[in-house]
Amino acid sequence: MPAAEPSLVVDRLRKDFGPVAALNGRMVRVLDGISLSASPGRVTTLLGSNGAGKSTTLACAQGLLKADGGTVRLLGEDPASAGSRLRSRVGVMLQDGGLPPSAKPMELLRHVAGMYRNPADIAALAERLGISDFSHTTIRRLSGGQRQRVALAAALAGNPEVVFLDEPSAGLDPQSRQTVFDLIVELRDRGLCIVLTTHLMEDAQRLSDYVYIIDRGVNVAEGTVSELTARTSSDADARTLEFSARPGLQPPLWTDGRSVVEVSAGRYLAHGLRTPADLADLAGWWQQLGVFPDAVSMQPRTLEDVFLEIAEGGTRA
Amino acid sequence: MPEGNAAPQVARILRHGGYETRAMLRNGEQLVLAVVLPVMALFGLAFTGLLDGVADRRIDAAVPGVLALCVMSTAFTGQGIATGFDRRYGVLRFLSTTPLGRAGLVFGKAIAVVAVLAVQLVVVGGTALALGWQPQPSGILLGLFLLLLGAAAFTALGLWVAGTVRPEATLAITNLVWVLLAAVGGILIPGTRLPAPMQPAVELLPSGALGDGLRAALIEGRLDGAALAILLVWSLLAGFAATRWFKWN
């Protein structure tokens, strides 16, 4: 898919917080040169552990925080100084929801919709997200997942071109998560630029067209899910095979980067397999020990593998 | 399109003002503070000799102070607490990402304060008229202006507190200040009736200035220039402080 003109371009973004009393009044650098771009018709994901700087990056991109260095361009404007015209084209779902506890969902959504010239069809949106079932219960009494759906609807109330979703699946049960994910994909297919953050690999893997992995305020890796999972620091094609057999097997004495590790009693991972011959070696070792595994599986690498590798290796792209 | 998909600014602000007004009027504790306590104060002062000598009739002496108390309840305590919790729950952050924006939020809150104040004016003023209140006709417009100026000063003070400390602290501070100012801040009881050492300080308080200004206007039909100037200074100072130090998250 040819990438359209990016809706969001973040370039070497820096943000300091503080002064922090516990650090003798020093400033803390939360973002140290984050760069990313997000285009229409794509889901762009910021993946990182808690405290990596994802929400701060979004807050700067939304204009809620002013950058201390670098630039942010959202739909061609600087969000920190832009007015209602830019805000009318952007929908935001905050991590903490930002919903008044004493309000009722439908009342709040209609109020938010009233801020726009051409709002979304609130009734249809509420129906779609299953909000109609609790539309007249005060937000205080809703579950985390219900609130999350109201916050998503509020972000979409103005028919935005760009949507920021901070941890959209937090607190959702599996069914709501599917509903929310289906809607996100549909919005993407309609041409919206969707920027989301998550610390859940599975979400990133399921939804993203492009992923930026950030850690301690810097970019550490980026690419499509398949690009990222194909990437290793040493060897692009190495696979890991998992098998179960009786516990306590003596590992083979391989010296060329291949290894077998017992990760839990009776569950083994064979790392660094690159060719069918490597598989034959593994089978030869089983034969030596008189082992016939109960289960064998070779899976594609997941984002989690990539993430752990980066986090452990400290390699920074 | 200059405004993109945003509704016109005036429409946004009015709409948010209406929304905030309904939220304030729906809140039970807020109603007690806004209506029940002032009406109780009105009866208390109208049927006791506490304010004898301030005006020819007790009810005339009582009403200006009670109206000033209404301003403080709504603009400072009520609005301050609501804003403090809105900040805690991220409501301010969320709404400031919509076309409403930060300025629209503040204007909307100001509209809500004025709207609730109007309700209070009807209830308290109506009750007072039934009790025989006769305000000085020449001072009524001036009185309304002072109520608005007082609302501006106390709204700014409330936003300053709400925007800088935790909501629980805002709750404690604004309630405590309300009680203190209501008792000895020159609102219900003129500063001149308080112990002599307190008098100069009380006159400089926004509460004292609002109370004195309203009494001069509604009892004597007179403009109290000093009170007006003090209120103006408080509005500007608190407005500046709130703008300067308000933390949105």
Say whether pLDDT at B28 is over 90.
no
Phi and psi angles of residue A199, each rounded to the nearest 5 degrees, phi first: -110, 5
Which of A17, A77, A88, A109 should be substituted to probe chain B, the one whose Cβ sees the most B Cβ atoms within 10 Å? A88
Tens of pLDDT, residue by residue over A21-45, are: 888 888 889 999 999 999 999 999 9
Cross-chain Cβ contact A100/B19 below 8 Å:
no
Contact A83 B91 (CB under 8 A): no
* Domain A8-89+161-230: top CATH class: alpha beta
C-beta separation of A91 from A160 below 8 A:
yes
Backbone φ and ψ for A70, nearest 5 degrees, come out as 80, -175
CA atoms within 13 A on the CB side of A17: 15
Query: Is A87–B97 a contact, with Cβ atoms under 8 angstroms apart?
Result: yes
Contact state of A88 with B5 under an 8 Å Cβ cutoff = yes
Beta carbons of A154 and B3 less than 8 Å apart = no
Note the pLDDT tens digit of each residue in A203-250: 888 999 999 999 889 998 899 988 887 765 455 567 788 999 999 999
* Chain A residue closest in CA terms to B4: A85
When scoring A115, A147, A150 by the number of chain B Cβ atoms within 10 A, the one with the most, hence best to mutate, is A115
Q: Which chain B residue has the Cα nearest residue A101?
A: B89
- Distance, in angstroms, between B128 CA and closest chain A CA? 33
pLDDT on residue B82: 93
- Which among A64, A99, A101 has the least Cβ separation from residue B97? A64
Q: Could you say which DSSP state residue A252 is in?
A: P
* Contact flag A96-B26 (C-beta cutoff 8 Å): no
Residues of B with CB under 8 A from a CB of A: 1-7, 9, 11-12, 15-16, 19, 23, 26-27, 85-86, 89-91, 93-101, 104, 248-249
Nearest CA distance, B174 vs chain A (angstrom): 21
Q: What angle do CA B115, B118, B119 make, to 5 degrees?
A: 95
Give the pLDDT score at A109: 96
Rounded to the nearest angstrom, the minimum Cα separation between B18 and chain A is 10
Give the closest of B27, B90, B100 to A96, CB-based. B90
* For chain A, domain boundaries: 8-89+161-230, 239-300
Q: Which of B243, B238, B90 is nearest to A64 (CA)?
A: B90
How many CB pairs (< 8 A) connect A and B? 100
Closest by CA position to B107, among listed B232, B233, B21, B236? B21
Comparing C-alpha atoms, which of A194, A189, A212, A197 is closest to residue A156?
A194
Write the burial class of residue B146 (CB in 10 Å: 0-12 exposed, 13-18 middle, 19+ buried): buried
Domain ranges for chain B, please list them: 9-245
Residue with tokens 């630039």: A71
Question: How far apart are alpha carbons B247 and A163 in whole angstroms?
Answer: 24
pLDDT tens for the 317 residues of chain A, in order: 455 789 999 999 999 988 888 888 888 899 999 999 999 999 999 998 888 899 999 999 999 999 999 999 999 999 999 889 999 999 999 988 899 999 999 999 999 999 999 999 999 999 999 999 999 999 999 998 899 999 999 999 999 999 999 999 888 888 889 999 999 999 999 999 999 999 888 888 899 999 999 988 999 889 998 888 776 545 556 778 899 999 999 999 888 878 898 888 899 988 888 788 889 999 999 999 999 999 999 876 777 777 777 766 554 33
Is the Cβ pair B89, A100 closer than 8 Å? yes
A28 residue type, one letter: V
Q: What are B36's two structure tokens? A: 């029940």
